Amino acid sequence: MVHDQWLFEKRAYVEGFVRPAGVDEAGRGPLAGPVVSAAVILLPGFPVISVADSKQLTPAKRKRLYDQIYDHALSIGIGIVDPVEIDRINILRASLLSMAISVENLLPQPDCLLVDGPHPIPFDLPQKPIPKGDALSISIGAASIIAKVTRDKLMDRYHSDYPQFDFIHHKGYPTTAHKAAIQRFGCTPIHRKSFRGVREYI
């Protein structure tokens, strides 16, 4: 049985909402770099197919879908929380904050939220948290692609600042090579100093 990716959006329309936004984040697990979120409002008739959880897509497919989503979405908002704030408030709260910032940056504003994961975000709108929502809702799937590609682009820029860490390949995630670079070179200003694998080398 094929899952209807518009199921949660259709339920929102039936409840009287007209602009549901899907919200997702990228970058909870890395040792370096920001957590980045996206909020996306799609309209019925959105023509892009093959939108799915960004983790299930190749980088080339993600980039192609990223461009198509920007071409056809009603609104896209981005939220970024940097490593200093992640260390200050913890990664879960930072992730939820980045999601709220992404919603704040939508124009027009949505009237309800479909949020990836089990937690509501700190934003005063009706919202439905959906575990594994990036695979179940087309709006959340689109947001996951936008968030992932946006974060990857940021990490590619950081690679030029700190080439010895090879951020262009692992995007800050705790690969063997990344952990070896931390042991050899110490940490950069974009490393998350509260994370195990970094704090031991400060």
21 occurs within a structural domain: yes
| pLDDT confidence bin for 53, thresholds 50/70/90 | low
- Among residues 117, 143, 140, the alpha carbon closest in space to that of 7 is found at 140
Cα(132)–Cα(98) distance, integer angstroms:
18
Do the domain assignments include residue 170?
no
- For the beta sheet containing 127-130, the strands, ordered from the edge strand earlier in sequence to the opposite edge, are 75-81, 35-41, 20-26, 112-116, 127-130
183 within domain boundaries: no
Q: Is residue 196 one of the residues assigned to a domain?
A: no
Give the pTM: 0.96
Residue 107 lies in a domain: yes
Q: What is the reported pLDDT for 2?
A: 61
Alpha-carbon distance of 26 to 75, in angstroms, equals 19
Q: Name the average pLDDT for the chain.
A: 95
Q: Going by DSSP bridges, is the β-strand pair 127-130/75-81 parallel, antiparallel, or unpaired?
A: unpaired
User: Average pLDDT, stretch 67-79?
Assistant: 97
Compute the residue count for the chain.
Answer: 202
For residue 49, tell me if it sits in a domain: yes
Question: How many domains is the chain partitioned into structurally?
Answer: 1
Residue 187 lies inside a defined structural domain of this protein = no
Q: What is the CATH number of the domain that holds 111?
A: 3.30.420.10
Q: What is the pLDDT of residues 4-52, one digit of tens each?
A: 999 999 999 999 999 999 999 999 999 999 999 999 999 999 998 778 7
Cα–Cα–Cα angle for 58, 19, 134, rounded to 5 degrees: 25
What residue numbers bound the domain in which 74 lies? 7-161
Q: How far apart are CA 72 and CA 146, in angstroms?
A: 13
Confirm whether 50 is domain-assigned: yes
pLDDT digits (tens, 9 = 90+) for 155-175: 999 999 999 999 999 999 999
